[in-house]
Amino acid sequence: MASPKKYCCFLFASVLAISIFFNNGIAIEEETKATETESWLTVSLSSLLPSQTCTPFTGLKKNSSLEVIQRHGPCSELKHGKANPKTTPTHFDILSEDQARVDSIHSKLSESFDHGNMKQLDSANIPVRSGMPLNTASYIVTIGFGSPKTDLSLAFDTGSYLTWTQCTPCLVKCYNQQEPIFDPSKSTTYSRIFQCGASKCNEIFSTAKYQECANPDYGDTCIYTVKYANTDFSIGFLSKDRLTITAGDTFDNFLFGCGQNNLGDALGRTAGKLGLGRHPISFVQQTATTYDKVFSYCLPSTTSSFGHLTFGSDGVRKNVQYTPITTVPNLTSFYGISVNGITVGGIELSSVASTLSSASAVIDVSTLITRLPPSVYAALRSEFRQQMTMYPMASEISILDTCYDLSGYNDGTVMIPKISLEFGDKVKLDLDVSGIVFVVSTKQVCLAFAANEREDDVLILGSVQQKTIDVVFDLNAERLGFGPAGCM
């Protein structure tokens, strides 16, 4: 077998690098003549696997920055204690749950969900489904509720508008979470939103799905209802209280959901969600006077490292380049993005250009694997496989059908084709290796892209492809920004 390096040089003219383009001709990194180094990544096998110990992130220099961790792994254990092996999901479980998230997005959040009746969705009425309490692609931050504050771990979600947490007395059901459940009776600043005609209640009902006012059993309280992938949901009282982000950033009268009937299989043992979507009640809008509708994050490369979630524009680096935010019908809480084309090894895949130009697309931090139209994925997969023929293939896993056994390379390094995602405005972004492959083990290293079921399903840019990249959401300017090496 020829060595990867010799093979790489031999195929220099057709070497693989993938790009998804943004519209305005801006490039995150300067384009230079293609070289072997620019077309391939020399990767240490050990770097593909998470460490057994957590590596702290030292880049948090703003008061408005929060540490971001993946739910499973040593960084989560550092904060929440050792995981239970019986409830730790396998890679297959994680990918299966990821598909449930994608299915929920594609189904446009079914209108058939029952509204406003807190007892209607008792766990006794929930269809049974397989799987352990997972958290798949959820990334976790810790914020404080109430006065005095109770610190709670929430999954932040760019596709959800409502921030909510489970609250005692859990009139119907609460799932098991890591921290004690928030007790609003112990907060001196807590209150419910009463009267269905209240302005905030009406504002939510007029612009969001799955809300209605309470029936007389709950004293005309404004009730929210949110539903997620498969059977997950939260129903409870629309409330307000003090929210503490950091010691210097607190927000009084913050509107949130105080969950009384909840099912959170996909949330693991987190306490709820921090809603960063596009909606008047989202965290982004409620804190606009302080953070000017700007937030950014950098997702860690592995479960053994930290990232950050930062609010406001002060910490945004100069190397970030921007593309316009678009709107996808029926997914208005999500941030849309234009995809113009894909390039492989500097050569544009002209066969997929028309499909991509007509495809709706969103960026989603809670979807793990990027989903492409089937014809686009087929072209990408074909090129990737052609460039990886020097390595033996391995069995597929769940939605990932292009995997390799890299365990036999005794020098400890392999060559991975460089992948660049380029979206609207011709902003070019080279991916970190953690954004190119999904690693089950050194015997099963898979291309981290998958196909949608139908050509017209919305394209989803998942969190794997966002790893180590500064992703900036600027709602005032209606633009998305991308900057390399944000939390290496």
Most confident of 35-44, 109-118, 204-213, 425-434: 425-434
The tokens describing 146, both together, are: 């109430």
**What is the C-alpha separation between 187 and 202, in angstroms, rounded?**
26
Per the prediction, the chain carries an average pLDDT of: 78
**What is the C-alpha separation between 72 and 54, in angstroms, rounded?**
11
pLDDT > 70 in the chain, percent = 73
pLDDT at 206: 46
User: Could you give all domains of the chain from N- to C-terminal order, each with its CATH number?
Assistant: 4-51+315-483 (2.40.70.10), 65-292 (2.40.70.10)
pLDDT at 453: 93
17-21, 230-234, 346-350, 426-430: the lowest-pLDDT one: 17-21
Check residue 13 and report its DSSP letter: G
| pLDDT, tens digit, 9 for 90 and up, residues 263-278 | 877 677 889 999 999 8
pLDDT band at 8 (very low <50, low <70, confident <90, very high): very low
Count the neighbouring beta carbons within 10 Å of the beta carbon of residue 189: 18
Q: Which residue has the higher pLDDT, 110 or 242?
A: 242
Helix and strand tally (H, E) in the chain? Answer: 9, 31
Q: Which residues are known to be catalytic?
A: 157, 364
pLDDT band at 385 (very low <50, low <70, confident <90, very high): very high
**What is the C-alpha separation between 212 and 201, in angstroms, rounded?**
8
For residue 374, CA distances in Å to 352, 370, 451, 458 come to 10, 12, 5, 11
Can you give 166-200 as a three-state secondary structure string?
A: EECCCCCECCCCCCCCECHHHCCCCEECECCCCHH
pLDDT at 261: 92
pLDDT at 100: 79
| pLDDT, tens digit, 9 for 90 and up, residues 226-258 | 887 656 789 888 899 999 998 889 999 999 999
Phi then psi dihedrals of residue 165, to 5 deg: -145, 155
Phi then psi dihedrals of residue 293, to 5 deg: 60, 35
| pLDDT, tens digit, 9 for 90 and up, residues 428-466 | 888 888 988 999 999 999 999 999 999 999 999 999 999
The pairs formed by 325-330 with CB atoms below 8 angstroms and a separation of 24 or more are 325/473, 325/475, 325/478, 325/479, 325/480, 326/361, 326/424, 328/360, 328/361, 328/362, 328/458, 329/360, 330/108
Q: Which residue has the higher pLDDT, 267 or 15?
A: 267
Using CB atoms within 10 Å of the CB of residue 463, give its burial: 0 to 12 exposed, 13 to 18 middle, 19+ buried. buried
For residues 36-54, give the mean pLDDT: 77
pLDDT at 33: 31
Q: Which residue has the higher pLDDT, 201 or 352?
A: 352
For residue 215, CA distances in Å to 118, 119, 120, 196, 483 come to 9, 11, 12, 10, 49
pLDDT at 125: 26
Count the neighbouring beta carbons within 10 Å of the beta carbon of residue 370: 24
Phi then psi dihedrals of residue 188, to 5 deg: -80, -10
| pLDDT, tens digit, 9 for 90 and up, residues 304-341 | 788 899 999 887 888 899 999 999 988 888 999 998 87
